[in-house]
Amino acid sequence: MRISELAEHSGATVATIKYYLREGLLPPGSKLGERRSEYGDRHLTRLRLLRVLRDVGDIPVSDLKKIVDAIDNESLSTHEMNGAAYDALARTSGEVSPDMRMLAARVVQEAGWAHVRPESPALDDLAGLLGVTVDLGAMFDIDHAATYLGLIDALAAYEVSRLDTAERIEDRDAVVQQMVIGQVVFGQLLLSLRRIAHEHHSALRYLDKPPADTEAGRFDAPQPDGA
């Protein structure tokens, strides 16, 4: 298809497509003449990925290049390729104190996540957040974190196991796209479900042990214990 058709099918503007071509984010089409090129499904897939990375992953253009290079470098394993996208997603929030960096390392060790690269930006991200909990006087209690970390481990193991089919996908663009959607969209979904679950469990707690001023009939059609 021509560039105008590619724009139509992908939803990207011709200007955006030309920009991606210039930046090397989109591979060139096959030359049909002086000023005409033919584009195919591969370009559509890539444009879809770039939209997900930008809209969903909120990844800046400068990082898109790193991800695309990792996809196009077929000597990199799927895992290394995904690593490039993982790293672009980890937002480090400025300086991180050595204390918090050490606490982060302890948390990861406690959780048994031995295959995490020591230089992973995700560790700085964690250290920064641990710093925030300290600043707020709500420090993460590593000595009582085994149950908590165990649940997160089980959740992540389950999520990764569900990607089984994606792993066999030949299309490297689609693998990265699924990974980013899993991290970002399903991350938001997790927080949303967690909030709802908190409302439920908080209700159970306060309905069982009402404070002095409670009235039990507050919930529409309350059910006994999660029925």
Instruction: Identify the burial level of 144 via C-beta atoms within 10 angstroms of its C-beta, where 0-12 means exposed, 13-18 middle and 19 or more buried.
Output: exposed
Minimum CB–partner distance for residue 15 and a second copy (Å): 24
Going by the DSSP 8-state scheme, the letter that residue 52 receives in this structure is I
Minimum CB–partner distance for residue 212 and a second copy (Å): 9
Minimum CB–partner distance for residue 34 and a second copy (Å): 37
Half-sphere exposure of 95 (CA within 13 A, CB side): 3
Residue 226 makes contact with a second copy by CB under 8 A: yes
Q: Which is nearer to a second copy, 3 or 166 (CB)?
A: 166
Nearest to 24, CA basis, from 82, 77, 72, 91: 72
Going by the DSSP 8-state scheme, the letter that residue 37 receives in this structure is E
Q: How many residues interact with a second copy (rule CB under 8 A)?
A: 92
Tell me which of 1, 21, 44, 76 binds a second copy, using CB under 8 A: 76
Minimum CB–partner distance for residue 13 and a second copy (Å): 19
* Distance, CA of 169 to CA of 151 (rounded, Å): 29
Q: Which is nearer to a second copy, 25 or 107 (CB)?
A: 107
Sketch the per residue contact string, 187 through 206, with a second copy: x for CB under 8 A, - otherwise. xxxxxxxxxxxxxxxxxxxx
Residue 11 makes contact with a second copy by CB under 8 A: no
CB 65 within 8 A of CB 23: yes
Nearest to 84, CA basis, from 104, 57, 102: 57
Residue 13 makes contact with a second copy by CB under 8 A: no
Tell me which of 49, 82, 84, 88 binds a second copy, using CB under 8 A: 82
